[in-house]
Structure 1
Amino acid sequence: MKMEELSWEEFAKMKKSIRAVLIPVGSVEAHGKHLPLGTDVFAPLEISRRLEKKLKRKGIDIFIAPPVWYGHSFVLNLYPGTINVKADTLRRYIRDILDEFALEGFKELIILNGHGGNIYPLVEAAEEIAGKHDVEILLINWWIDFREEISKICSSQGHAGEDETSVMLVIAPGLVKMDKAKGEKKALPVRVIKKDIGLEVFPDGVNDNPRGATREKGEQILEIVSDKIAEILVGRL
Structure 2
Amino acid sequence: MYMENLTWDEFNEIKKKIDTVILPIGSVEAHGKHLPLGTDVFAPVEIAKRVEAKLREKGKEILIAPPIWYGHSFVLDVFPGTINVKADTLRRYVRDVMAEFAEEGFRKIILLNGHGGNYYPLVEAAEEVARRYNVEVWLINWWIDFREDILSICSSQGHAGEDETSVILAIKPELVKMEKAEGEKRTSKVRKIRKDIALELFPNGVNDDPRGATKEKGEAILEVISKKIARFILED
- Asked if Structure 1 and Structure 2 have the same fold, meaning a TM-score greater than 0.5 normalized by the shorter chain, the answer is yes
Percent identical pairs in the alignment equals: 69
1:152: how far off? 0.2
- The yes-or-no answer on 1:182 pairing with 2:182 is yes
CA distance in 2, matches of 1:187, 1:11: 47
| CA deviations over 1:14-52 (Å, ceiling 9, x no partner) | 110000000000000000000000000000011011100
Kindly provide the amino acid, as one letter, of the partner of residue 110 in structure 1: I
Aligned to 1:117: 117
Counterpart position of 2:152: 152
Q: Aligned partners of 1:93 and 1:132: how far apart in 2? A: 16
In structure 2, the residue matched to 1:228 is 228
Superimposed CA distance per residue, residues 122-155 of structure 1 (whole angstroms, 9 cap, x where no aligned partner): 0000000000011110000000000000000000
Which residue number in structure 2 is paired with residue 8 of structure 1?
8
- What are structure 1's unaligned runs of at least 5 residues? none
C-alpha deviations, 1:164-222, integer Å up to 9, x for none?
Answer: 00000010101000000000001001100011001011000000000000011000000
Amino acid at match of 1:171: I
- SS of the aligned residue for 1:144 comes to helix
Q: Does 1:170 align with 2:170?
A: yes
Partner of 1:44: 44
CA distance in 2 between partners of 1:148 and 1:172 (Å): 24
AA aligned opposite 2:198: G
Give 3-state SS (helix, strand or coil) of 2:78's partner: coil
Matched with 1:57 is 57
Whole-Å Cα distance in 1 between the matches of residues 150 and 103 of structure 2?
36
Q: Which secondary structure does the structure 2 equivalent of 1:230 belong to?
A: helix
Structure 1: distance between partners of 2:72 and 2:30: 13
Distance (Å, rounded) in 2 between the aligned partners of 1:211 and 1:180:
9
**1:101-128: CA deviation from partner (whole Å, max 9, x where unpaired):** 0000000000000000000000000000
Total equivalences in the alignment: 236
Can you give the 5+ residue segments of structure 2 that lack an aligned partner in the other structure? Answer: none
Give, in whole Å, the separation in 2 of the partners of 1:227 and 1:147. Answer: 15
RMSD of aligned Cα (Å): 0.4
Q: What is the alpha-carbon distance in structure 2 between the residues aligned to residue 120 and residue 181 of structure 1?
A: 30
Partner of 1:32: 32
Residue 219 of structure 2 aligns with an amino acid whose one-letter code is: E
List structure 1 segments (4+ residues) > 2 angstroms apart after TM superposition.
none
- Matches of 2:31 and 2:117, distance apart in 1: 14
Structure 1 length normalisation: TM-score? 0.99
AA aligned to 1:40 is D
Which SS does the other structure have where 1:186 is aligned? coil
Residue 192 of structure 2 is matched in structure 1 by: 192
| Corresponding residue for residue 69 of structure 1 | 69
Residue 154 of structure 1 aligns with an amino acid whose one-letter code is C
Verify: 1:108 aligned to 2:111, yes or no.
no
Task: Name the SS of the counterpart of 2:111 in structure 1.
Answer: strand
CA distance in 2, matches of 1:163, 1:113: 15
Q: How does the TM-score come out when normalised to structure 2?
A: 0.99
1:235 is displaced (CA, Å) by: 1.2
Letter of the 2:224 counterpart: I
2: distance between equivalents of 1:21 and 1:128?
Answer: 18
Instruction: Give the 3-state SS of the residue equivalent to 2:138 in structure 1.
Output: strand
- Counterpart of 2:179, as a letter, is D
